[in-house]
Amino acid sequence: QVQLVESGGGLVQPGGSLRLSCAASGSIFDIGAMGWYRQSPGKQRSVVASITSSGRTNYADSVKGRFTISRDNAKKMVYLQMNSLKPEDTAVYSCNMAARPDARSAFYMHWGQGTQVTVSS
């Protein structure tokens, strides 16, 4: 059983910054790709940023240059540094992680419950 817990969300003014963290626990032998997604009311969940096991990153066009994803494999954590936040960044942010419990198992995708980010003056 793998659990992901996000933290760091909250209320911030436009132009401000937040750093989201996602901690994984449970039966984890190996971690593959990690990512952050967001969903705002009335919209589908969409990818914000992703990072491979080798550290290659990808970002949604709307956050390029403002958000940075990073990971710490030893701590089993993934982070999202969000700068120059805009009201349209308001959403529930969730992390996901591909992990496997042993070397012979396939990778499975796991999701956190999400953390609310509100950008408003």
Model confidence over 69-87: pLDDT tens digits? 999 999 999 999 999 999 9
**Sequence-distant (≥ 6) Cβ neighbours of residue 54 within 8 angstroms:** none
Could you tell me if 64 and 45 are in contact, meaning their C-beta atoms sit under 8 angstroms apart?
no
Q: How confident is the model at residue 97 (pLDDT cuts 50, 70, 90)?
A: very high
pLDDT one-digit tens code per residue, 40-68: 989 999 999 999 999 999 999 999 999 99
Beta strands 46-51 and 57-59, pairing class: antiparallel
